[in-house]
Structure 1
Amino acid sequence: MSPQFAGDGTTRQVIVIVEPEIGLRSETNGIRSATGADISSLSAVLANDSITLEPLFGQSEERLRSATANLAEETSEPVPDLSVYYQAIVPAERAEAVAEQIRNQPGVAGAYVQPQMGLPFELNAMAPTQQATPPITPSFVLRQNYLDPAPVGIDTAYAWSLAGGRGAGVRVIDIEGGWRFSHEDLLQNAGGLIGGVQSTDLGWRNHGTAVLGEIGGDANAIGVTGIAPDANCRAVSVFRDASFTYNLPQALVQAANSLSPGDIILIEQQYGHPTRGWTTVEWWPAEFDAIRYAVTRGIIVVEAAANGGNNLDDPVYNTPLAGFPASWTNPFNRANRDSGAVVVGAGNPPAGTHGRNSQPNTGEPYVDRARCGFSNFGAMVDVQGWGWEVTTSGYGDLQGGSSEDTWYTDQFSGTSSASPIVVGALACVQGVLRAAGRIPLSPARARELLRSTGSPQQAATGRPVTQRIGNRPNLRQLIPAALQQSSWTGTQFTGTVPANQTICWFTFNWPAHWHVLWTVVPTSPFSNAPQVTWKVRVTRSSDRFITYWICVTNLTNQPVNIEGRFAVLGW
């Protein structure tokens, strides 16, 4: 199998999106409509090319509809209908023609060819040394400068000084294609593969091993130590079966269903845009909706911005690909729509890291926290991590030998090396909050704090700070900001409730992480009987905001003036 793309190149995946009203059902002998819609034309096209449609998310349409309906009821948020997505595996040379045929059929909202995907192997081509492995691996922690105090690193020592600050009680799922779970530095809290099948390719395996080492490398006297070594790190593979069928959306949903609010998913993938090269995956419809599903469940999704060196604000991204549904809008402009993911760019390490002042492969001078030349950038990029010189498990260029279980590198790079740093930082924060008996950060709150704290991005020649990749996390700022609490009271509204009637007031844009109590107090004097009662109803209008509905009932036979008072108990 090629290290760049899934499969053997003879087939491609066509993503099909149907209109929900036709109630499409995929069965062993073809398709049918649960609503009685005429799907004969679509059936004929599929039959002529011997094409089988299967639910993209791996479950029956009924289960997917039930899951999304239940989630919408629990959260009072709109949830993407995942049951309308299907996949068809077709010969590569016929993929575009098949997609065009399908999308022209009644009841089909869209049909497009799944983009080529890949990992940044061009940045991570390190070969293992042939030197014999020492009897005991030495400690490489002093080479992990991204652990250092800010602004050089993210200041893990501060987090580790606090209860829960090593990520205790936090679960992380890494989504990519391969890992070495038997590695000597991934034995304490790595939970293994919980979905899909591993690639047999060494490039995938090294990559996943390096990512897990950054986040959760064992806290011991050998090798590296992860940023959040007490976090439970598991994996879901993008390859869903023994044929290495690639399906990132299904992997995302499986990961989300395996986690609880406050846990973390890492997406270590990038897709090839036809004219711009490597691009952030949420630009594609199925991936966006899968991320949105996870975020609605309260899972923090950390997404690599990708390594195309592209401006994600470029108007070219406003133009959908052929076969995208008419409802699609560019998610890189969050005013259009927002997946809720934390998007990570790659920044340079300080000059002198590992004795180098520039990247040996590219000659790129190191200006600390300046955008790496390969990193995508733009307004939607939230935060940066180290994009070069990351010391972690895998590859073997720092310590090699005959066994992959003792391989280490100090050259891991890309938005692939940057994103695990952010995951680790968030795991430390969530661990501290859990240990303090506080609710964990929501996806929206996590992103807000990453943007408002940290060591600022710097400029380099040809890479001004207007090419946004965000700040580098600083746990000494981030954790106190997450723990900060304040309380106050006030009057939000006044009004008059007619005799024996009920009137509702609503008030919106209350931050979702605030704890708010409501009280309604009559201001018209009355004696000997209760005057009003009230009920508070709540809508979570988005990841960030709550709308409260306060319905006041007048229990008397005369009008009552009232005040709606609030008490913020903490935030």
Structure 2
Amino acid sequence: MTPTRRLLAALAAAAALTVATPGLAGADAVRNADWALDALHAQTAWRTSQGAGVTVAVLDTGVDATHPDLTGQVLAGKDEVGFGAKRGDSAWARHGTGMAAIIAGHGHGYGDGSGVMGIAPKARILPVRVILEDKDPQRAKARASRGDALPNGIRWAVDHGADVINLSLGDDSATAAPVAAEDDAIRYALSKGVVVVASAGNGGEAADRSSYPAAYPGVIAVAAVDRNGVHAGFSTSRWYASVAAPGVDVVIADPDRSYYTGWGTSAASAYVSGAAALIRSAYPKLSPAQIKQVLQSTTRHRPKGGRNDQVGTGLIDPAAALAAARKLKPQPAVPVPVAYASRYFAPGPAPAPAPADHAQLLGDGVAAACAAAGAALVVAAGLLWFRRRTA
């Protein structure tokens, strides 16, 4: 195993939360419960852009391309794991399908009036399987043999047409450290003009340690808020927070054709990835840094002083961001300079000591092994959500 190999793991803490909530069995109930699109002024944003022509790579547990809310939207992807649960298994593609529908769901049925409508309903989804669901019986095997799936998946997505990369996953265990291969892959994506979005972490009610990949330079790190625009208690509060998006009681599509409400910074990240797709569709020459800046500068519920560690600059407003983006002169897509007090990695392949700790994640996901004075650090990472069954 190479020193920078990231292992695939899962945290039992986020095994399914299955408190039944009646009322989402019908199509109208699903749409009525989906408050996030109204909060994001989606109808106004769609007058300018619905994400047409943009590809969003969803690096996750896989995506069900046959889900009625996603048919015709999902491209042929890549499985960087190569084994684990298959279609029909209870541990197959649940998280990834939910995130893909938040980004690019188009609904189904008469007038597409049933199911989940994504924030960028005309965007395409490029699925890249880099992690296994928390209940997948092959987790241990993946942990031992597929540690480089995440950085490889990022590079593959960039080389196969991704315009935006969604990372609804993260690593914020107490022993975690940044991984050079991941940092390099993200810098590669940014240098190619690809926007990278990641979950801020679900450690807000624990240690509030920093989460990777959210804390890497250039990433749009997304915190979660409720329907009132208030910071969700579980959402990690750290210096790297860029913006916030809905992450409490949001509607989740599942491969089993049921719908759930769930919470976590995973969902928040997916909404911001969809918003980035709207901007990239309307203004394809804007750089990743410009798209990040315009999302940050047009937020609502802005905190005192303009930003804080809980929500960054506040709740995204895609309609306002699109209006502001129209005034920008495109800049070259260049790697974003490190803007932090110290670099993560010294020159050469060996990681330098991490400048910050890392937050506890909830979910199934990845773990990392870094070399430090000849010893490997193994860290846990995960998908940043809990789910509550609603239908």
TM-score by length of 1: 0.49
Q: Per-residue displacement from partner, 1:486-521 (whole Å, max 9, x unpaired)?
A: 8xxxxxxxxxxxxxxxxxxxxxxxxxx359xxxxxx
Give deviations 1:274-318, integer Å, cap 9, x for gaps: 35xxx7xx83222111111111111101111221224457xxx9x
Per-residue deviation, 1:158: 1.0
Aligned length: 316
Structure 1: distance between partners of 2:61 and 2:78: 12
CA deviation string 1:397-441 (max 9, x = no partner):
xxxxxxx442111x221111110010111111222225xxxx2x3
SS at match of 2:93: helix
Change (3 A) 1:179 1:484: same
Counterpart CA distance in 2 for 1:291 and 1:142 is 37
* Post-superposition CA distance 1:182-218 (Å, at most 9, x none): 2221113122533334641635522112111111112
Find the residue that maps to 2:77 and give its secondary structure.
strand
Relative distance call for 1:207 and 1:119 in structure 2 (3 A) is farther
Change (3 A) 1:218 1:253: same
Q: Which residue, out of 28, 42, 63, partners 1:156? A: 42
Q: Which residue of 2 aligns with 1:259?
A: 161
Matches within 5 A, 1:65-84: none
Q: How does 1:81-160 map to 2 (within 5 A)?
A: 114=6, 117-118=9-10, 122=14, 124-126=16-18, 137-138=27-28, 140-148=30-38, 153-160=39-46
Indicate the residue corresponding to 1:102 in structure 2. Answer: none
Q: 2:125 aligns with which of 233, 248, 260?
A: 233
Candidates 83, 100, 123, aligned match of 1:212: 100
Relative CO higher for 1 or 2, CA cutoff 8 Å, sep ≥ 6?
2
How far 1:141 sits from its partner (Å)? Answer: 2.2
Residues 204 and 126 of structure 1, relative CA distance in 2, 3 Å threshold:
farther
Which of 391, 414, 427 aligns to 2:277? It is 427
Alignment equivalent of 1:472, drawn from 311, 315, 331: 315
Q: CA deviation at 1:466?
A: 5.0
Q: Which structure is larger by alpha-carbon Rg, 1 or 2?
A: 1
Q: What pairs with 1:45-444 in structure 2 (closer than 5 Å)?
A: 114=6, 117-118=9-10, 122=14, 124-126=16-18, 137-138=27-28, 140-148=30-38, 153-162=39-48, 165-196=49-80, 197=82, 199-200=84-85, 202-203=90-91, 205-219=93-107, 220-238=112-130, 244=142, 245-246=145-146, 247-259=149-161, 263-275=163-175, 283-309=178-204, 310-311=207-208, 339-350=217-228, 368-370=229-231, 372-394=232-254, 404-409=255-260, 411-434=261-284, 439=285, 441-444=286-289
The residue aligned with 2:2 is 15
CA contact (8 A) 2:101 2:118 kept: yes
Distance 2:310 2:25 in 1: 43
The question of whether the paired residues in 2 share the 8 Å contact of 1:174 and 1:266 is answered with yes
Provide the rounded CA distance (Å) in 2 between the counterparts of 1:332 and 1:184.
31
Which ranges of structure 1 fall in alignment gaps of 5 or more residues? 1-13, 18-86, 88-113, 318-329, 351-367, 395-403, 487-512, 516-539, 545-571
C-alpha spacing 1:126/1:480, structure 2 compared with 1 (3 Å): same
Aligned counterparts of 2:22 and 2:311: Cα–Cα separation in 1: 40
Preserved contact between residue 170 and residue 214 of structure 2 (Cα < 8 Å): no
Q: What's the secondary structure of 2:196's corresponding residue?
A: strand
- Superimposed CA distance per residue, residues 505-547 of structure 1 (whole angstroms, 9 cap, x where no aligned partner): xxxxxxxx359xxxxxxxxxxxxxxxxxxxxxxxx87548xxx
Taking a change above 3 Å as real, the CA distance of residues 138 and 187 of structure 1, as seen in their structure-2 partners, is farther
Q: Which amino acid aligns with 2:257?
A: T
Match for 1:233: what amino acid? I
TM-score w.r.t. the length of structure 2 is: 0.70
How far has the Cα of 1:131 moved from its partner?
A: 11
